[in-house]
Chain A
Amino acid sequence: MDIIVVGLSHKTAPVAVREKVAFAPENMQQPLEQLQALPAVNEAIIISTCNRVELYAVSNDGDAALAQLKHFLVEYHQLSSNKLAKHLYVMQGDAAIRHLFRVTSSLDSMVIGEPQILGQIKTAYGFATEHKTAGLILNRFLHKAFSVAKRVRTETNIAGNAVSVSFAAVELARKIFGRIEGKTVLLIGAGEMCELAAKHFINNGVTRVLVTNRTFVRAEKLAAEFSGQPILFENFQEHLHQADIVLSSTGATNFIITPDKVNGALRRRKNRPLFFIDIAVPRDIDPRVNDINNVYLYDVDDLQGVVNANMKERHKEAEQAEEIVEHEIGQFQSWMAGLDVVPTIVALRQQIDELRQAELEKTFSSLKHLSDGDRKTIVAMSSALTNKILHPPTKVLKQAQQESNAQQYVDALQVLFDLEIAAPEGKLKAVESDN
């Protein structure tokens, strides 16, 4: 019994390849059922996002299943197998388990710690359960992956700090003001990034928005959009002291906000902190403004620097997350091993055979007159008998393993025959703690 994965991601394939291999969410039934129908595949799930396409399967013959999955991917999308091959990665066993755990925990994402991937995998799992291609093992596997992702999220700070420029601005404001609820934002000029940042601020509790623009009509339009207040560009300086956060992005070629003006505004607001975000290139705000007490000025490069620092912090957290993943792989492996029927069959046969040998010895020691031929016949009879007795349970166990519900028989046999099975350590513990 093995878990395998065939796939490609942003790490191995450009978008031009990824888009050709993607599966449309509105049509998942067909590919899932085709996968399930592959001879070597017992269970299957398809994860398809804009950054990755991965097919996970449970199989008794991993190598055969891998080949069939690859073939399926090529056939289904009518691609050339040579071209696709160099972008594909295949994993089996531990590596496949590790991979899904890492993907779900957002350790394999383009932006480490991004929150979307968990939802996307939950959706993919939804399709697999809807079309009944996920059985005992994949159910357990996916739920385990979700719980690993949850552990990573709660036990590490992997999603802790902003990794986009506009959100970094919001976080900086929080570092300065504590709460940004009830603060006032002044928007100078327009521009995509500026508006995006303003939206972030509003979503995070900013209640008052002032908008100014050289073209007053544009200021009015933008103000209406944010239910803010338009201000004439000519006298926006008069309103500077009302703002806690100033977002500037004009086409001006020289500084429109100077230390003088800021000092004046600061006096009028009794030194309450002012946070300037200068998104314009060339810059709108004199960098010397940053030297004034209680004033903080960030330009585009500064914000990018914050994002980079946050990124580094996430990478540090990711190292801890990897440890969690490794630990959970071990647990899941133990559970998988518990599903394997071979050790049970071996133990059962051994036990019966020992009994047979012991009884033969006892019989022969009291019947010393038997000829060698007679003895041979009795030995043959005893082994034929035990084999006949053992045949049906062996068959049932093997069948059950195919259907992935062997656990109940394994458990029953252990109790009924008092078997001691050389199980991997921690098996019982793993099963208990997972339930």
Chain B
Amino acid sequence: MGVNILFFKLTLLLYAVSTLLYLFSVVVNKPNSDRLGRWLLMGAFAVHTTTLVIRFYEAGYTPVTNLHESLSFFAWTLAGTFLLIDRRLRMAVLAATTSTIILVLMLFGSLMPMHIQMLNPALDSLWLPIHIGLAFMGNAVFTVAFVAGIFYLLQERMLKSKKFSALYYRLPSLDTLDTINYRCLTFGFPLMTMGIISGAVWADSAWGTYWSWDPKETWALITWFLYAALLHGRLTTGWRGRRAAILAIIGFAFLLFTFLGVNLLLPGLHSYSSMSG
């Protein structure tokens, strides 16, 4: 067993403990009770970074080429993105949900074949880390927008119906959640755009064509249009609040399908990142 897999398991454990601590702090709802969870999440992120570096050296390429590696990388970008956002807005509910998503990604990652495989020669390029890095950073930012969207809808429903559950007292203001939605959109959209463009440039140099309408490309484009529409609506006609939250949730569903659904269900040019690798 490679050292990287040992580290991966340690990372998984740290994420699990951090998630539990965050959930606990949501339940008790005390100021600063999320401090321990935050420290653990930071620690988990650091160990995760080490894991990826070790795997990079053990494999000899950027470890984003099969499903195990992709899930782990996605979880890593999500943790990093969230920690950046968390510096500004400390919210236990948001942290608990995001770290749960990270944990789920990592658990799935641990169920996939974890050993290092020979690199597909087609992927042996500097474009690999650039294309995948941009795409997953975009995904991570949109995941946070998705979480904020869910909580926006819950909070909005409580404010409209005037029936407050225990969650009401733990959620930030609608404005805060809507601002997260907007910020994530303004960061996520350029990342996603650059991810797609870098992919096209790479495709041109590797396959001789910018765009081949393989399932991943098609679904990525659909998702891109969805987020483009949301951004446009926000900037021009004031699509905000509920509508923006719903679109962020739908966008995330498309995004998830582009990432996982396409890999598992629809064969195409991007199929190296399927289950078997």
Chain A residues with CB under 8 Å of chain B are 155-157, 160-161, 172, 174-179, 269-273, 290, 293-294, 296, 298, 302, 305-306, 309, 313
Contact B173 A272 (CB under 8 A): no
| B267 contacts the other chain (CB 8 A) | no
Task: Output the nearest chain B residue to A294 by Cβ-Cβ distance.
Answer: B241
Q: Complex: how many Å from CA A155 to CA B30?
A: 7
Contact B164 A309 (CB under 8 A): yes
Q: Complex: how many Å from CA A177 to CA B174?
A: 7
A-contact bits for B159-185, CB 8 A (1 contact / 0 none): 110101000110011111001000000
Q: Complex: how many Å from CA A309 to CA B162?
A: 10
Residues of B within 8 A of A271 (CB): 237-241
Chain B residues with CB under 8 Å of chain A are 29-30, 155, 159-160, 162, 164, 168-169, 172-176, 179, 237-243
Min CB–CB distance A46 → chain B (angstroms): 35
Contact A306 B173 (CB under 8 A): no
Task: Output the nearest chain A residue to B159 by Cβ-Cβ distance.
Answer: A296
Known contacts: A157-B30, A290-B160. The answer to whether A174 contacts B238 by CB under 8 A is no
Min CB–CB distance A174 → chain B (angstroms): 6
Min CB–CB distance A424 → chain B (angstroms): 31
Min CB–CB distance B92 → chain A (angstroms): 13
Contact A161 B175 (CB under 8 A): no
Pick the contact of A176: B159, B169, B242 (CB < 8 A). Answer: B159
Pick the contact of A177: B160, B175, B237 (CB < 8 A). Answer: B175
Contact B30 A178 (CB under 8 A): no
Residues of A within 8 A of B159 (CB): 172, 175-176, 296
Known contacts: A161-B169, A175-B173, A293-B243. The answer to whether A272 contacts B155 by CB under 8 A is no
Pick the contact of A273: B30, B169, B172, B241 (CB < 8 A). Answer: B241
Min CB–CB distance A62 → chain B (angstroms): 38
Known contacts: A273-B241, A305-B162. The answer to whether A174 contacts B173 by CB under 8 A is yes
Min CB–CB distance A231 → chain B (angstroms): 24
Contact A272 B169 (CB under 8 A): no
27 contacts between A and B (CB under 8 A): A157-B30, A157-B169, A172-B159, A174-B173, A175-B168, A175-B173, A176-B174, A176-B175, A177-B174, A177-B175, A178-B173, A178-B175, A179-B175, A270-B237, A270-B238, A271-B239, A271-B241, A273-B174, A273-B241, A293-B242, A293-B243, A294-B242, A296-B159, A296-B160, A298-B162, A305-B162, A306-B164
